[in-house]
Amino acid sequence: MKKYIFRLWGKAIIALSGWKVDQHLKADFKRCVMIAAPHTSNWDFVFARAAFEVMEIPVRFTIKKEWTKGFLGWLLVSLGAIGIDRSPKNNRSQPISYVDAMVNLFQENEDLAVLVTPEGSRKRMETWKTGFYYVAKEAKVPIAFGYLDYKTKTAGIGKVIWPGEDMEADMREIMEFYQNIHPKFPELFSVDIRYLPKA
């Protein structure tokens, strides 16, 4: 019932707002790291969440495991949140890394599409967090290029790659794609300048 309600909600949001969905998907999208970019507005989550409902992709996003409790936790989990546990394992004193915790999620879940925001902030960031790349590589899952283009009012997935042996080349391909996407607030968005073509 909850799934049906969310699907109706997603379709209504897309239809009433005049957006369209880029929906050329394959069956193997049940397991992937999903980039969410550009991320310059709180509206990004609304339109992205609605688009994923239309595409019938049960995308998830991570929060601290402690945040999954109580009413707020119930609400976040209903919206797709999944708790990430970084507590020390095997008698280690230090928390496990974000990458290892994310890889563990893929090992524990047969179908898992995890949304990541590598910009790390709605402010303009000229370098991205690259943990998502290492997660995909270690978990042996593809990287999907989720996007919101406010100029064309299109939400969806533009491309999919499998991380290879040349991270630099893969990251350049990612930046080349997102350079052509129009965010809600262009002044707040930048691709990772480390992976732009050298002048």
Is the residue at 157 inside a domain?
yes
The pTM (predicted TM-score) of the whole model is 0.87
Q: Each residue of 11-47: pLDDT tens digit?
A: 899 989 999 998 766 656 779 999 999 999 989 988 9
CA distance 149 to 19: 10
Asked if residue 189 belongs to a domain, the reply is no
Tokens of 34: 């999903």
Task: Classify residue 190: in a domain, yes or no.
Answer: no
What pLDDT score does 55 carry?
87
State the average pLDDT over residues 137-162: 94
Which residue segment(s) compose the domain that 175 sits in? 2-183
Contact of 167 with 133, CB cutoff 8 Å: yes
In-domain check, residue 137: yes
179 occurs within a structural domain: yes
For residues 175 and 168, is the Cβ–Cβ distance under 8 A? no
Query: Which tokens go with 149?
Result: 């283009």
CA distance 72 to 77: 9
Q: What per-residue string of b and e applies to 1-29 under the rule 16 or more CB within 10 Å gives b?
A: eeeeebeeebeebbeeeebbbbeeeeeeb
Q: How many structural domains comprise the chain?
A: 1
**Residue 137's pLDDT band (boundaries 50, 70, 90)?**
very high
Q: Is residue 198 part of a domain?
A: no
Alpha helix (H) residue ranges in 59-141: 70-78, 98-108, 131-139
Q: State the pLDDT confidence band at 150, using cuts at 50, 70 and 90.
A: very high
| Residue type at 134 in one-letter notation | Y
Q: Is the peptide bond before 38 cis (omega within 30 degrees of 0)?
A: yes
User: Would you say residue 142 has pLDDT above 90?
Assistant: yes
Q: pLDDT for 54-91, tens place per residue?
A: 888 888 877 777 777 877 777 777 777 777 777 776 66
Q: Give pLDDT, residue 29.
A: 72
- Answer whether residue 196 is part of any domain: no
| Inter-residue contact 173 to 161 (CB < 8 Å) | yes
Q: Which residues contact 79 (CB under 8 A, 6 or more apart)?
A: 49
pLDDT at 199 over 70: no
What are 90-124's pLDDT values in tens digits? 666 677 888 988 898 899 888 889 999 999 888 89
The helix (run of H) or strand (run of E) holding residue 8 is helix 2-17
65 inside domain: yes
